[in-house]
Structure 1
Amino acid sequence: MANFVLVPGAWLGAWAWDEVAEALRAEGHRAYQVTLSGLAERADADNMGQAQHVADVVSAIEDNDLYDVVLAGHSYSGIPVGQAAALIGDRLRRVVYVDSNVATDGKSFIDGWSEEGRAWVEGQLKETGGFWPPLTAEDYVGQDLSDDAIAVILERGTPHPGPSISEPAQLTRPLADLPTTYLKCLMDGAQPSSDVQELLKSPSWELAELPTGHWPMFSQPAALTKFFLGVAG
């Protein structure tokens, strides 16, 4: 039995993992869904920065006294998940990145963007009082999502706190040293980003692929569950 700790990406709360978490529990595992500060039911949190998101993940593990942890981060949350994984010591079984970003010490989520892209998102943060607005329906086209799934994401998604994407990551261990599986969702690009490709050179890292879009917990929950069960061994 593994303890799955599932962290959603930008704009999403713990609810995004409902179907996958239920399926994992049905197979005899435990699944803990994390909502990061500033999102969903935690939208009114006082602290919404990058370090707080790391603390949210660590707290979910330590407060529940979890070991044999399969710690999974989707999209944005790969950045706090990687930092948290480095902090939990022998509680960790494996890190899983679900088509996600990865942390670089001293760099923020938006530091890796082009100058034009960074200016765009910083402009959005100024216009909205420090929040990154959710995507629109058009942004989900071509990602293997049903109309119903898109409607749910649009209805339940919340603005993402700006400090979490502009504050730098702080790594206490190299990500390459941690047992890791990176899941690439092929409809969101055939190859992982260059920083992920570099990390995949580590013997501690492995690559898996899924022929779906960037939100597999909505588009292919059964396939994603099967992948997680394989990771858990």
Structure 2
Amino acid sequence: MTHFVMTAGTWLGAGAWDEVAAELRAAGDDAHPVTLSGLAEKQGVPAGLETHVRDVVDAVERLGLRDVVLVGHSYSGIPVGQAAERIGDRLRRVVFVDANVPVDGESFLSGWPSDHVRESIAAHDGFWPPLTADDYAGQGLTDEQIRRIVEGSPHPGATLTEPATLSRSLGDLPATYIKCLLDGDEPMPAVAELLKSERWELVEMDTGHWPMFSQPRELARILRESAGRG
């Protein structure tokens, strides 16, 4: 049995994985969606980036899991990438779902035009509020799926501005990167560099940035296939 430990991107908690987790369990695997501190049912819990890294590591250690596939979507690729190198031989593979990847000394907001995000965080008492429904057009989502995202939690701003810390190259870890093509054809430069590693593979999905909503069955299939390459 493979143990999948999954975290979603900004504004979302463990509930974002409900459909994917059901598919994985039906196939005989174990799924552990994780809500990061400060989000969903954990709103009000103070959180920086290191808190989110510990959330992932603690889930693995608390449950006594081995043969673990860590799954990080969007923002959460940054804490998941750091957690992957900390759990040692418990790790089977790490899967980045249309995700940012940690770069030592850089934050989620580094390397792209993000002044509007910093301004929004400053204007909302240190939190980045969910975007409006119009911002999710063209991503393969139904109105109900968009509502689930828009009604998410304001995201703790410190987790987006604090730098990542890595002790080695992520290219040393066994990894799958899932690129969602409705969100752009090419991986970001940091990802493209890591994909040069023989331990990394690229998988494409013909959907938008939130495949756990738009194509949960297909995403679950890809996760299981990736685990088999561990």
- What is the percent sequence identity of the aligned residues? 59
Aligned-pair CA distance for 1:173? 2.5
- Partner SS, residue 105 of structure 2: coil
Asked if 1:224 is matched to 2:223, the reply is no
Counterpart of 2:199 in structure 1 is 204
Letter in 2 for 1:124: S
Aligned-pair CA distance for 1:133? 1.0
Alpha-carbon distance in 1 for matches of 2:5, 2:168: 20
TM-align CA RMSD: 0.8
Unaligned runs of 5+ residues in structure 2 are: none
Aligned-pair CA distance for 1:229? 1.5
Q: After TM superposition, list the pairs within 5 Å mapping 1:179-218 onto structure 2.
A: 179-218=174-213
User: Cα deviations across residues 44-93 of structure 1 (Å, max 9, x unaligned)?
Assistant: 10x31000000000000011011110100000000000000010000000
Asked if 1:161 is matched to 2:161, the reply is no
Aligned-pair CA distance for 1:103? 0.3
Query: Is residue 49–residue 79 contact of structure 2 (8 Å, CA) maintained in 1?
Result: yes
Q: After TM superposition, list the pairs within 5 Å mapping 1:133-172 onto structure 2.
A: 133-155=129-151, 157-172=152-167
Unaligned runs of 5+ residues in structure 1 are: none
Alpha-carbon distance in 1 for matches of 2:70, 2:143: 29
- Partner SS, residue 110 of structure 2: helix
Alpha-carbon distance in 2 for matches of 1:120, 1:143: 21
Letter in 2 for 1:40: A
Alpha-carbon distance in 2 for matches of 1:76, 1:138: 20
Counterpart of 2:7 in structure 1 is 7
Aligned-pair CA distance for 1:153? 2.0
Counterpart of 1:128 in structure 2 is 124
Q: TM-score, normalized by length of structure 2?
A: 0.97
Alpha-carbon distance in 1 for matches of 2:7, 2:98: 12
Alpha-carbon distance in 2 for matches of 1:173, 1:207: 21
User: Cα deviations across residues 28-54 of structure 1 (Å, max 9, x unaligned)?
Assistant: 111001000110000110x31000000
Query: Is residue 8–residue 76 contact of structure 2 (8 Å, CA) maintained in 1?
Result: yes
Alpha-carbon distance in 1 for matches of 2:198, 2:156: 35
User: Cα deviations across residues 144-198 of structure 1 (Å, max 9, x unaligned)?
Assistant: 001121122223x010000000000011221010000000000000010111000
Moved over 6 A (4+): none
Aligned-pair CA distance for 1:113? 1.9
May I ask how many residue pairs the two structures share in their alignment?
Answer: 228
Query: Is residue 87–residue 172 contact of structure 1 (8 Å, CA) maintained in 2?
Result: no
Asked if 1:55 is matched to 2:54, the reply is yes
Alpha-carbon distance in 2 for matches of 1:126, 1:146: 31
Letter in 2 for 1:186: L
Counterpart of 2:25 in structure 1 is 25
Query: Is residue 72–residue 96 contact of structure 2 (8 Å, CA) maintained in 1?
Result: yes
Q: TM-score, normalized by length of structure 1?
A: 0.96
- Partner SS, residue 100 of structure 2: coil
- Partner SS, residue 125 of structure 1: helix
